[in-house]
Amino acid sequence: MNETKTNIALIGMPGSGKSTVGVLLAKASGRDFVDTDLLIQSRAGATLQTIVDENGYEALREVEEQVLLSLQLSNHVIATGGSVVYSEPGMAHLKTSSVVVFLDVSLETVRERIGDYSLRGISKRPDQTIEDLFEERLDLYRRYADIAVNCDGCSMEQVCEAVMAALPSA
């Protein structure tokens, strides 16, 4: 692992497993764990869904960017929110301290795992379908990823193992 990049940052679509696999990965790799969604809620004093409902998806992206830019972490697994890749400065900052791992899942898997999109605080334009969102984001996740792990058909433990195996060694 690059000495300056001691964090592992997980990116990917909502439902790809960033939050749940992130905890397993932290335990397996001896790191601390942080979920930027929780930092956003704490900073805004509101749930993600409330931010979107009351102030719109742009407001969520703004506070998400502030949270990303304020991160000063080392030796953490960082579970990001699915919309993190819309912030170029935020991603640039994250990449200075983190190996960025894209948890790659198909649209079918996203559909299976996410029930009601309107309850999950997804940061999307009101006119945008999940298919459109998936297409738009795929390019962004690939652009920022140092490593991509195909997660379809894998258990959370298998995804965790695959990430560990793909990490550059110390």
Ligand X SMILES: Nc1ncnc2c1ncn2[C@@H]1O[C@H](COP(=O)(O)OP(=O)(O)O)[C@@H](O)[C@H]1O
Residues in touch with Mg ion (CB under 5 A):
18-19
Phi/psi of residue 76, nearest 5 degrees:
-120, 155
Residue 37 CA to residue 43 CA, distance in Å, equals 10
Q: Give whole-number Cα distances, 133 to 5, 52, 124, in Å.
A: 30, 16, 7
Task: Report d(CA 110, CA 130) in Å as an integer.
Answer: 9
Question: Is 19 annotated as belonging to a binding site?
Answer: yes
Residues between 54 and 93 with contacts to ligand X, criterion CB under 6 A: 79
Write down the residue that tokens 């898997």 correspond to.
109
Q: Does 121 bind ligand S3P (CB under 6 A)?
A: yes
CA distances to 21, 42, 44, 47, 136 from 38, rounded to whole Å, are: 16, 6, 10, 9, 25
Site for ligand S3P in 56-115 (CB under 6 A): 81-83
Provide the minimum distance between the beta carbon of 14 and ligand S3P in the complex, in angstroms, as a whole number.
4
Say whether residue 121 binds ligand X (CB under 6 A): no
Single out the segment in contact with ligand X by CB under 6 A; choices: 19-27, 62-70, 90-98, 135-143.
19-27
Is 15 labelled a binding residue? yes
- Closest to ligand X by CB, 2 vs 115, is 115
Q: Contact residues for ligand S3P (CB under 6 A)? A: 14, 18-19, 37, 48, 81-83, 121-123
The annotated binding site is made up of 15-20, 37, 61, 82, 125, 137
